[in-house]
Amino acid sequence: MIPEEMRNDFLWATSCELLGDGKYILRHYWTCGGKHWEAEYQNKQKHGKEICWRRNGDRYWEQEYQNGQLHGKLIEWDVNRDKCWEAEWKNGEFVRITL
């Protein structure tokens, strides 16, 4: 259940796991029941991992945030579960990509 004070900001979310200290995880599920998307937040900003899954449950991509900005790795996998590419970000700025 999404807390009342957060509903207007996160209408797309299906569930919210409150972790304390302003931290929480928002999730959205496929209509078939599996996880579609999940992101860690702190004080209404992405902070931590954001993950997206395909309908079959395989990971599609994963990225890391710090204080609302991309910070860390961004990885994408193909339908065969092989890594397509990996990028690195620091404080919202692109650093490099590895194919």
Exposure b/e, 47-85, CB count within 10 A at least 16 = b:
bbebbbbeeeeeebebbbbbeeebbbebbebeeeeeeee
Residue with tokens 């078939």: 32
pLDDT of 51 reads: 97
Rounded CA-CA distance 83/1 in Å is 34
Give the residue extent of every domain in the chain. 4-98
Q: What is the pLDDT of residues 13-69, one digit of tens each?
A: 888 898 988 899 999 999 988 999 999 999 888 999 999 999 999 999 999 999 999
Its pTM surpasses 0.75: yes
Q: Which CATH class is domain 4-98?
A: mainly beta
Q: Which residues contact 31 (CB under 8 A, 6 or more apart)?
A: none
